[in-house]
Amino acid sequence: MKIKELTPEQLRCGIAGCPAVFEVDDGKLLVIGKIASKSSQAMVPKSRIANDEILVEIPRELVAGILRSE
C-alpha cells in the first residue's frame, strides 16, 4: 500500500505533533489529530463512537485547505 499526504503545504511541520491527513491508495483517509478534549467528547453521543474508534480534533483550516486544493 502507498499513502499520499493531503495536508496543505502551509500547514505541514517537519516534526511530529501537527495534525495531518493522508490518503491510502485503497481510498481510506488517515487522520492525525489530538484526542478530543473532554468537553468536545461530551458533545458527541457516546453511541456514535465504537469501541475501536476515538474522537480527534483537527483545525478547520486543515480540512478547508484540502478541499481548496482539489
pLDDT of residue 52: 96
Report the percent of the chain where pLDDT is more than 70: 100
Q: Where are the domains of the chain?
A: 3-69
pLDDT at position 50, please?
A: 96
Angle at 46 between CA 65 and CA 27, to 5 degrees: 40
Residue 35: what residue type? I
For the residues 30-52, what does the mean pLDDT come to? 95
pLDDT score of 44 more than 80: yes
- Bridge partners of 22, per DSSP, are 5, 30
Cell (9 digits) for 56: 480527534
Q: Side chain identity at 5, as an amino acid letter? A: E
SS3 category, 9: helix
Strands across the sheet with 29-32, in order?
Answer: 3-5, 20-24, 29-32
